[in-house]
Structure 1
Amino acid sequence: MRGGTVAVIGGSIAGCAVAAALARAGAGQVVVLERTSGRLEDRGVGLCVHDERAVELRASGALPEGIAAHPLRRRRWVVRDAAEGPGGRLIWQQPFPFHSYHWGLLWRGLRESVPAAVVYRQGEAVTAVEPAGTGAGAGAAEGKGDRARVRLAGGSVERYDLVVGADGYRSVVRAALCADSRPHYAGYVCWRGNVDAARLGELGGLADPFPDAVTTVCFRGGTCVVYRIPGPGGPRVNWVLYAAPPQDGRLRLDDPTSFPPGALTPGLAEHLDALLEREFPPYWRRVLALTDPADTFVQPIYDLEATHTAGGRLLLAGDAAGVVRPHNTSGAAKALQDATALADGWRRSDSFEELLDGYHRARGAAGRELVALARRLGRAQVERTPAWAAMDGDGMAAWWRGQLDGAPGIGGRAMAP
């Protein structure tokens, strides 16, 4: 197809990728509506992309060249064991062919790749979206009944041939397309933080012993992954700790971003300190303890499967289409694959109906598969953890295969040709 008007709701990673992909594919006018009026919040959170997905996405143009990334090669699983020293005991090691990214640096690279012809409007909060063909009234008589409508916070309404929801887990586009699809709390949270890697020198002889590895600290009722990421001011150490929340009502679990950086209360900080003291090998406890409270936050874990990813001139991409627990290490790659699939469909399709149908068949199934795998990973690594200290390499390998249940691995699958 050529021409057409497209509104992309949300200007974060998925939104920038979609806008750039559609502009390159031949969309006539692409408008990004981003509710944040200033610079998007940069939490310094790390994320990873599988090396094979990165090759695929660079070839499609979805992942621009030149964005800082740190190579990772292996994943180490360790348990606390005083006899093995401060770093704990290694119970298993597996290949981990990924590169890690800093959220802010990845977003900036994607934002800079958006063609100048795309109109990127900040401070434009979208309050509601209506699919094409609903409530058209006079609009249909004016020839506008086949366009979706976007209502802005100021009260104005804009019409587009296609509206893409890249607006995350609270997506207003998803609410219009499939209101029954909502995030479900998984029963546990993740604590996130990051620290300047130069501070590892404060820890003495074990400073930065595994720069090419993700280290997974295993304990009863949870796990914690620790790995390097690039940062605006130099390398950083990123960590994500999964565990049950405090049982005293200190966390409000109806919002996946309840406690952003800087909002960690003294009580929650004490809970985290006690968990680290009780469960972690001393070295890894000290690594996490280097993190400034301003760089620490708590995120309840949710997942979501959208019953529909496209219809009525509405389409969902990234977390708006499906929220996958982070264990699968696939969120960024999935968003960029969604953008790639949408652009490919745009080039092949002769109508919006054909475009929407093809996108839903391709990406709906992919999203459901990712959600299912991440649920299995979460149950095995947090909800129903094994007796880690009794595990050996063969036992860990069998345990891992059970989680995959036939999937080739984590990080997402290659896109179908």
Structure 2
Amino acid sequence: MRGGTVAVVGGSIAGCALASAAARAGADEVVVLERTHGRLADRGLGLCVHDGRAAELAATGALPEGIAAHRLTRRRWVVRDDPAGASGRLFWEQPFPFHSYHWGLLWRGLREATPASVVYRQGAVVSGVTDTGERAEVRLAGGTTERYDLVAGADGYRSVVREAVCPGSRPTYAGYVCWRGNFDARRLDALGDGDWPADTVTTVCFTGGSCVVYRIPGPDGPRVNWVLYALPPQAGRLPFDDPMSFPPGRVTEELTAHLGALLDREFPPYWAKLLGLTEPADTFVQPIYDLETARTTAGRLLLAGDAATVVRPHNTSGAAKALQDATAFEEAWRRSGTWAELLHAYQAARGAAGREMVALARRLGRGQVEQTPAWATMNHREVQSWWQALLGGAADIGGQAMAP
């Protein structure tokens, strides 16, 4: 199929990838409608992509060459080991075939790889979309309406397009949060102890939660990125009704004190000190949500990335999933003769895949936060059995391989 006009609502990772896919597939006009005015590249946290998924995505052109990445090969699981052991006691080690990325640098690479024919409009706030049967209408906050042959929603957790595809579908709070932060890796020199190879992810385990720590590339050199999952303070009423309730620099005193007490009580000294190197301006708290939708298409509307399914971060699949959605979209376009065929093929390729990722991440959340095992008493065989039960038949975390 050749020709046609496409609007992509949302201009972050999924949006850039979808826009590039539509342009490569032969759309006459592709417009990205991004609500923010500022630089998306300033969003500076880490993420990982499984090596297998990266190879597939590079082969299709969805993951451009030359984007800075840090190689990871193994994952160590540790617990506090009083009275000895500043770095804790290692109770399990597993392969971890991933590369880590800086969100902003990944987005910048995708944005720079977007074909010049794509129109990228910032400050374009979409208030609603409607499928009219033959076309799709986009309503902008200023009161104007634009019409396209297809509207793709890549507008994240609070997707406007999702509301049109699956009315009333909202992300659900999982009951716990994650503290996230990152800092310049040169600050590690101040610790002076601990054995943490650069290719290693460390997971610090404790009753009621876990924390993942790894290195990422940064605009000014390597950085340390960490994500700590745990229950929030029970006292008081904190507003966990928004996936970004406490952005960097605005974490409440209550949450800061809760984190400090948790580190003192549960963490090996080395890792507690390591997290303490993070500046308040580089720390935020994110309530954990998830969402599975009944469908990813309706009429001339399509969903991708977090707009289609919100997956808890434990699965380490968010970026890969967004790029896979774009790959499936391009493939469906090339194999289809009509818009209806395109949307049907995309739904067939990505609907079940998204729901399976949500289910896996829920199992991982239960095992690593909600119903943690007695980590310190488990032997190697017991940990492997526990992990396989969480996977539930999945080959690994990091997302599924795409069907040929």
**Residue in structure 1 matched with residue 11 of structure 2 by the alignment:** 11
* Counterpart residue identity of residue 57, structure 1: L
In the alignment, does 2:123 pair up with 1:123? yes
Point out the more displaced range, 175-184 or 347-356.
Answer: 175-184
CA contact (8 A) 1:128 1:173 kept: yes
Rounded Cα–Cα distance in structure 1 between residues aligned with 2:299 and 2:196: 53
In the alignment, does 2:270 pair up with 1:302? no
* Counterpart residue identity of residue 376, structure 2: A
Rounded Cα–Cα distance in structure 2 between residues aligned with 1:267 and 1:320: 31
* Counterpart residue identity of residue 11, structure 1: G
CA drift at 1:167: 0.2
Rounded Cα–Cα distance in structure 1 between residues aligned with 2:35 and 2:171: 21
CA contact (8 A) 1:43 1:261 kept: no
In the alignment, does 2:173 pair up with 1:185? yes
**Residue in structure 1 matched with residue 303 of structure 2 by the alignment:** 316
**Residue in structure 2 matched with residue 82 of structure 1 by the alignment:** 82
Rounded Cα–Cα distance in structure 2 between residues aligned with 1:364 and 1:252: 31
Deviations 1:358-396 (A, max 9, x none): 111110010000000000000000000001110111111
**Residue in structure 2 matched with residue 142 of structure 1 by the alignment:** none
CA drift at 1:266: 2.1
* Counterpart residue identity of residue 107, structure 2: W
Q: Counterparts in 2 of 1:131-142, with a 5 A limit?
A: 131-133=131-133
Q: Secondary structure at the match of 2:362?
A: helix
Q: Secondary structure at the match of 2:250?
A: coil
Q: 2:218 aligns with which of 231, 236, 243?
A: 231
CA drift at 1:250: 4.9
Rounded Cα–Cα distance in structure 2 between residues aligned with 1:262 and 1:132: 43
**Residue in structure 2 matched with residue 211 of structure 1 by the alignment:** 198
In the alignment, does 2:61 pair up with 1:73? no
CA contact (8 A) 2:80 2:267 kept: yes
**Residue in structure 1 matched with residue 157 of structure 2 by the alignment:** 169
CA contact (8 A) 1:185 1:300 kept: yes
The answer for unaligned runs of 5 or more in structure 2 is none
The answer for unaligned runs of 5 or more in structure 1 is 134-145
TM-score, length basis structure 2: 0.99
Q: Counterparts in 2 of 1:18-417, with a 5 A limit?
A: 18-40=18-40, 42-133=42-133, 146-206=134-194, 209-417=196-404
Rounded Cα–Cα distance in structure 2 between residues aligned with 1:112 and 1:265: 37
CA drift at 1:43: 3.1
Rounded Cα–Cα distance in structure 2 between residues aligned with 1:249 and 1:11: 36
Rounded Cα–Cα distance in structure 1 between residues aligned with 2:227 and 2:136: 39
Deviations 1:98-146 (A, max 9, x none): 000000000000000000100000100000000123xxxxxxxxxxxx1
CA contact (8 A) 1:75 1:94 kept: yes
Rounded Cα–Cα distance in structure 1 between residues aligned with 2:21 and 2:166: 25
Rounded Cα–Cα distance in structure 2 between residues aligned with 1:344 and 1:379: 35
Deviations 1:181-226 (A, max 9, x none): 21011010000000110000000133x6221111000000000000
Q: Secondary structure at the match of 2:40?
A: coil
Q: Secondary structure at the match of 1:205?
A: coil
Q: Secondary structure at the match of 1:198?
A: helix
Point out the more displaced range, 311-320 or 80-89.
Answer: 80-89
Rounded Cα–Cα distance in structure 2 between residues aligned with 1:294 and 1:119: 33
Rounded Cα–Cα distance in structure 2 between residues aligned with 1:221 and 1:55: 35
CA drift at 1:83: 4.4
Rounded Cα–Cα distance in structure 1 between residues aligned with 2:58 and 2:151: 25
CA contact (8 A) 2:37 2:122 kept: yes
Q: Secondary structure at the match of 2:139?
A: strand
* Counterpart residue identity of residue 326, structure 1: P
Percent identity of equivalent pairs: 73
Aligned pair in 2 of structure 1 residues 41, 179: CA closer, same or farther (>3 Å)?
farther
Deviations 1:243-297 (A, max 9, x none): 0011123521110100000101222211110110000000000000000000000
* Counterpart residue identity of residue 275, structure 1: L
* Counterpart residue identity of residue 49, structure 1: V
Rounded Cα–Cα distance in structure 1 between residues aligned with 2:236 and 2:62: 42
Rounded Cα–Cα distance in structure 1 between residues aligned with 2:199 and 2:23: 37
CA drift at 1:159: 0.3
* Counterpart residue identity of residue 229, structure 1: I
* Counterpart residue identity of residue 149, structure 1: E
Rounded Cα–Cα distance in structure 2 between residues aligned with 1:249 and 1:205: 38
Aligned pair count reads 404
CA contact (8 A) 2:131 2:300 kept: yes
CA drift at 1:306: 1.2
Rounded Cα–Cα distance in structure 2 between residues aligned with 1:291 and 1:74: 24
